[in-house]
Structure 1
Amino acid sequence: MQRRSRGINTGLILLFSQICHVGINNIPPVTLATLALNIWFFLNPLKPLIYSCLSVEKCYQQKDWQRLLLSPLHHADDWHLYFNMASMLWKGVHLERRLGSRRFAYVISTFSLLTGVVYLLLQFAVAEFMDEPDYRKSCAVGFSGVLFALKVLNNHYFPGGFVNVLGFPVPNKFACWAELVAIHFFSPGTSFAGHLAGILVGLMYTQGPLKKILEACAGHSGYQDHYPYGRPGSYEAPRNYDMYTAGLSEEEQLERALRASLRDRDEAANAVLTNTEF
């Protein structure tokens, strides 16, 4: 694993700038807590990266299972942190508003653990079937696997529209696969298996049994949804989702989502004032 640079953390400064630009009060609580937790572990890592990264050799063969918990919360450098958390900021605003804070917290926690498990299975399978033992030693850190899983969820709950991948318009439902290939070819140092694991976990939720399993576990634990912006069924989603996705960057989509969120808050506040007048 590469060491973090000891100079000015430009990526961290840009991340704080983006958070301030959005406004802390405009960021839902679970999303904000996730950002804060990742920033905290970047500034105060529990262990050096070599002892927190995830690999088959360290986690499975040497039984160092705590790496499943540590690896998503540690980043190689400030730019790694910035790109992941900037993406988390955008996805969190969308999905936490759609799912509710408690349910979103449940999803984030499960995805953080499950992407690591799927990553280990993928690396183990490649090492075994291709007779490439180096894949057992390949070590990965970062939140990007969880982000790919959240991207699948975002495309599921907000279908339609296109995204720009390397200058080419790609339908939303194929965007995660296009980005997986693009990142692999243009940033070969990134973890292909980690990103693929995130996509597979996202599909397990949207197309497989994971969603029902989580809902069943949540029911047994007495878990109830909390919706800071009202229940998902209580507001009418726009029929044309292109207004959120078509040709827009993540920052532009974030700004539109925030404006919609603030507008809903203002309408709710006005309704309360109207109902309390004598």
Structure 2
Amino acid sequence: MRNRQRGSNLGLLLLASQVFQLGIDNIPPATLATLVLNVYLFLFPFKPILQTCVSVQQAYWFGDWHRLLLSPFHHVDDWHLYFNMVSFLWKGLNLERRLGTTWFAYLLSVFSLLTGLVYLLLEAGLTELMDDSSFSMQCAVGFSGVLFGLKVVNNHYNPGGVTYIMGFPVAKRYACWVELVLIHVMNPGTSFIGHLSGILVGLLYTLGPLKTLMKLGAGYSGYETPYTPNRTPYYGAEPSAPPQHSYTAGLSEQEQYEAAIVASLQDQGRRTHSRPSGGLSTNSALSIEEIRQRRLQRFDT
């Protein structure tokens, strides 16, 4: 096993810098473990990228099913890793504290595997429908499909309101679909079917039977026990304010997607510059304990 060939690794350095700015103690354990796994497999890949990506040809025709386990956790380059992990940190901080570490880890495991399976089904269906075997040969790799599924779940637990995509307001319930189309239009090299698979898995969880099946399979009833960090993070906000954490370098989640559209999931690492938004302000009139209590009330609702 040898390291892959990389360039300056600026994306990896930025990721490390922003993780330490946030503070490792502030990252819930399942989120942190998943982040570490992705970084480790980038530095020490289990196999070359062409042997970890998943496709109908490799998984079904040739029986190489272990690609379903490997493909979500391998990345093409450091920018691919960087944008996926920055987006994942934001979602992990919200969802793991909402669902609890045990259930969130379970959710990640199921989503990682099921997103690949749905991807294979969609590509196989397109092969038959279009009578075009090229669909079966398209190979996908990276965590972005899982991220789309997590975004659906996060929007489910935070319904209503709007989000801004490329500066335009979009209702949260439609945000995933707009991002799906926009990313593919502006960066055709991304896996449209892979992202769509993640959305469908997220919908199976929030609107379909997946959540019920997971509860039956796990026999676990306390899945929404919130995770509470050991100390109050410095990036606290009032409950009504959308979280914008320092590890995003001042970027809101929408601005992260704008940057990701340009730089993430490309075969060659490209540097991109995003306009930073204003940093998060905290209300000095509130005590740390009051802020903590308001957060807990938000999670309970």
Which of the five TM-score ranges fits, normalised by the shorter chain? 0.7 to 0.9
TM-score normalized with structure 2 length: 0.77
From the superposition, tell whether residues 227 and 7 of structure 1 become closer, same or farther in structure 2 (CA, over 3 Å): same
Q: Could you list the per-position Cα deviations for residues 23-52 of structure 1 after superposition, in whole angstroms to 9, with x for gaps in the alignment?
A: 111111100011000000000100001110
The amino acid that maps onto 1:120 is: L
- Tell me the residue number matched to 1:96: 96
Q: For the residues of structure 1 that align with 2:76 and 2:292, how far apart are their CA atoms?
A: 43
Partner residue of 1:155?
155
Task: Please state how far the C-alpha of 1:185 moved relative to its aligned partner.
Answer: 0.2
* 1:119-130 alignment runs, 5 A limit: 119-130=119-130
User: Structure 1 residues 110, 203: closer, same or farther in 2, change over 3 A?
Assistant: same
Q: Secondary structure at the match of 1:244?
A: coil
How far is 1:163 from its partner? 1.5
Say what the alpha-carbon RMSD is for the aligned residues.
Answer: 2.9
2:188 matched to 1:188?
yes
Is the contact made by 2:111 and 2:146 (CA closer than 8 Å) also made in structure 1?
Answer: yes
Alpha-carbon separation, structure 1, partners of 2:207 and 2:62: 34
Partner of 1:212: 212
Moved over 3 A (4+): 222-227, 238-241, 251-257, 262-268
2:242 pairs, out of 229, 244, 249, with 244
* Displacement after TM superposition at 1:132 (Å): 1.3
Contact 1:151–1:176 (CA under 8 A) maintained in structure 2: yes
In the alignment, what sits opposite 1:11? 11
Aligned length: 252
Q: Which segments of 5 or more consecutive residues in structure 2 lack a partner in the other structure?
A: 230-236, 245-250, 257-276, 294-301
The one-character-per-residue Cα deviations of 1:255-277 (angstroms, maximum 9, x if unpaired) are 689xxxx9469858xxxxxxxxx
CA deviation profile, 1:40-99 (whole Å, cap 9, x unmatched): 000010000111000000000100000000000100000000010000000000000110
Tell me the percent identity. 55
Instruction: Report the Cα distance in structure 1 between the residues aligned to 2:289 and 2:122, rounded to whole angstroms.
Output: 43
Partners in 1 of 2:82 and 2:201 — Cα distance? 23
- Alpha-carbon distance between aligned partners in 2 of 1:197 and 1:150, rounded to the nearest angstrom: 12
1:201 paired residue number: 201
- Structure 1: where are the runs of 5+ without partners? 231-237, 269-278
Report the AA paired with residue 52 of structure 2. S
Contact 1:95 1:104 (C-alpha < 8 Å) held by counterparts: yes
Give the structure 2 partner of residue 169 of structure 1.
Answer: 169
1:229–1:265 Cα contact (<8 Å) kept: no
Task: Please give the TM-score of this superposition, normalised by the length of structure 1.
Answer: 0.83
Are the aligned partners of 2:68 and 2:117 in contact in 1 as well (CA < 8 Å)?
A: yes
Q: In structure 1, what is the Cα distance between the partners aligned to 2:146 and 2:103? A: 15
Q: Deviations over 1:220-261 (max 9, x none)?
A: xx675464329xxxxxxx9975x2279x8127899689xxxx
Q: In structure 2, how many angstroms separate the alpha carbons of the residues matched to 1:254 and 1:69?
A: 37
**CA separation in 2, counterparts of 1:190 and 1:131?**
22
